[in-house]
Amino acid sequence: MWCVLSNQRLVTDTSGANASDRRETRIVEPTRLKEHRMSKPQISTRRGFIAQGLGVVGVGAALPNFLIQTALAGPKAESDLPILVVVQLSGGNDGLASIIPYGDDAYAQNRPTLRAPVENLLKIDDYSAFCPALGPFKKMYDEDQLAVIQAVGYPNPNKSHFTSMDIWHVANNSFRRVPGQEAYGWIGRYTDTAFKDVIDSKLSMAVNMGKSPMAMRGRFHAGLALKDPRSFQYMAANNDKMKKELYRELNDSDSKPSKGSSPLDFISKTSSSANRASDEILKLINATKSESYPESRLAQSLQMVSAMIKGNLSTRVFYVSQGGFDTHAGQATRHAKLMTDFSEAIAAFQADLTGQGNADRVLTVAFSEFGRVVKENGSQGTDHGKAAPMFLFGPNVKSGLYGESPNLTDLDGGDLKFKIDFRSVYATVLDQWMKAPSQKILGAKFEHLGFMA
């Protein structure tokens, strides 16, 4: 079942449900809301609306008119404000096939079929090298625009894709999803803290993704999820009950006011902001076409991000993803292709930003939910591991390998031991780049790393 708010109506498709349950329900105008009250549930706070989670998928104008009665402009974009781009490498990137510890004899011993020939490696020093597919990264490293943080993880690591990704998103290594539990991501807490009294749907944006990641979810800021620039729809959360309740609440004019304004007013302002953003984004993407980007999904996502940065949107955090890193079998060819797509997309993005004159404003951070085990398996692949590298790109980083190089003989149950808590990377980025209080946002103090210039 899905639920879409589109123009003047809410269309509910109950595929697989009884035919008698299929219906199309019209959304009435505000002046007649009292005549069409549908239920008792109410949105009494901004949090209630954010928790239900209206995300944006695609671009274009298609909002119910009654949600656009009250307009509230977002903050004017300032060309000198820092921008963060987060790249999620989904599936568990094999750090040992990315930054290769060729100087450790245990590497070849544990990877008899997966090891890369030494003569093909792009050497960083006498111990570590970029894999052959990361030529663009080696160039960026030599130009002082790439920092590699080694052996990143967290205490008591979890090898579940979903749980570990949640931990990275929420920045809490003890976090586990509980039905009905409210959870806010580290980016959402950033936007809540830095833009406490601002309603602007564009503060954080997931690009070329079907929904906003948990990392972007805040108490008062949900962020946008931009999927397809050729279409624009508002979709409720992926829970049928929540979808129905959200629709009823949108039509309930008797909701209690919060902080001096009605919840419907807040929804109108938030949705109106998103509606205006949709037109703005569509124009920017259509006006900015570059032949210099590869055809990979990640490259196309970053091209859209670049267009929006060039257009000087008020967005402070962009979020993109690249999938396919769960390489349990046939890893050599698959991972090489992933690394090629990753490095070429980042290189094209950085070159585009430089041409715009915006490179100094943008810091790009790439992470994966975990790494892979040291020893290859019987299917010429690798299984879920623990620690993995993070990558940071841009003119404002200091090139280098940060942290201890992986020790392939001092292991944690066959896995690399984590040496650097990922929240130290977050804290450094928040404090030194975004100029936001990391201790308040992350809930604890984490040591800064020295990768910022």
The structure tokens listed for 67 are: 């949600």
Average pLDDT over residues 367-390: 98
pLDDT at position 146, please?
99
Quick: pLDDT tens for 203-259.
999 999 888 899 999 999 988 888 765 444 434 344 445 444 543 443 343 333 344
Instruction: For residue 68, count other CB atoms closer than 10 A to its CB.
Output: 17
What lies within 8 Å, CB to CB, of 45 at 6+ separation is: 258, 263
Tokens representing 49? Answer: 């609306």
User: pLDDT digit string (tens) for 133-162?
Assistant: 999 999 999 999 999 999 999 999 999 999
At residue 408's C-alpha, the angle toward residues 402 and 413, to 5°, is: 110
Check residues 175 and 22 and name the one with the higher pLDDT. Answer: 175
Note whether residue 358 is domain-resident: yes
Six-digit token string for 259? 């902080």
DSSP per-residue letters across 59-103: -S----GGGGSS----PPP-TTS-EEEEEEETT---GGGTEE-TT
414 in a structural domain: yes
In a domain, residue 252? The reply is no
Task: Give the pLDDT of residue 79.
Answer: 67
Residue 257 lies in a domain: no
Domain membership of residue 240 (yes or no) is no
* Domain count for the chain: 1
Query: What confidence tens digit (pLDDT) does each residue in 304-329 have?
Result: 999 999 999 899 999 999 999 999 99
Task: Identify the pLDDT of residue 279.
Answer: 66
Report strand pairing: 2-6 vs 232-235. Answer: antiparallel
Residue 75 has which token pair? 């903050």
Q: Is residue 26 over pLDDT 90?
A: no
Q: Could you tell me the maximum CA-CA distance found in the chain, to the nearest angstrom?
A: 77
Average pLDDT over residues 162-181: 94
* Three-class DSSP labels, 369-429: CCCECCCCCCCCCCCECCCEEEEEECCCECCEEECCCCCCCCCECCECCCCEEHHHHHHHH
286/284 Cα distance (integer angstroms): 6
Question: Buried b / exposed e across 416-427, counting CB within 10 Å, b at 16+?
Answer: bbbbbbbbbbbb
CB atoms within 10 A of CB 268: 24
Contacts of 347 (CB under 8 A, 6+ apart): 136, 137, 139, 140
Q: Measured in whole angstroms, how far is the alpha carbon of residue 198 from the centre of its chain?
A: 21
Domain that holds residue 391: 83-182+278-442
pLDDT category, 288, cuts 50, 70, 90? low
Query: Mean pLDDT over all residues of the chain?
Result: 80
Is the pLDDT reported for residue 125 higher than 60? Answer: yes
Instruction: Note the pLDDT tens digit of each residue in 99-122.
Output: 999 999 999 999 999 999 999 999
3-state SS, one letter per residue, for 137-165: HHHHHHCCCEEEEEEEECCCCCCCHHHHH
What pLDDT is stored for residue 325 in this prediction?
A: 98
Question: Long-range contact list for 154-157, CB < 8 A, 24+ apart?
Answer: 154/418, 154/421, 154/422, 154/423, 155/418, 155/421, 157/370, 157/386, 157/387, 157/415, 157/418
Q: Which helix (H) or strand (E) holds 234?
A: strand 232-235
pLDDT band at 22 (very low <50, low <70, confident <90, very high): very low
The secondary element (H helix, E strand) that includes residue 45 is none
Query: CB-hemisphere CA count at 13 Å for 137?
Result: 28
Let me know if residue 329 belongs to a domain: yes
CATH of the domain at 416: 3.40.720
**How far apart are the C-alpha atoms of 449 and 453, rounded to whole Å?**
11
> Which pLDDT score is estimated for 283?
74
pLDDT at 76 over 90: no
Tokens, residue 237: 């959360």
Quote the pLDDT of residue 194.
97
pLDDT at res. 378: 98
pLDDT band for position 281 (50/70/90)? confident
Residue 445, CA distances (Å) to 423, 424, 426, 437 in order: 9, 9, 11, 10
In a domain, residue 133? The reply is yes
What does the angle CA 246 – CA 188 – CA 137 come to, to the nearest 5 degrees? 130
Query: CA–CA separation, 366 vs 341, rounded Å?
Result: 13
Which of the pair, 182 or 382, is modelled with greater confidence? 382
Task: Tell me the three state secondary structure of residue 203.
Answer: coil
pLDDT of residue 418: 96
Coil vs helix vs strand at 368: strand
Over pLDDT 90: what percentage of the chain? Answer: 62
Q: What is the pTM for the complete model shown?
A: 0.78
Question: pLDDT tens for residues 395-433?
Answer: 999 999 999 999 999 999 999 999 999 999 999 999 999
256 inside domain: no
Contact 199, 266 (CB under 8 A): yes
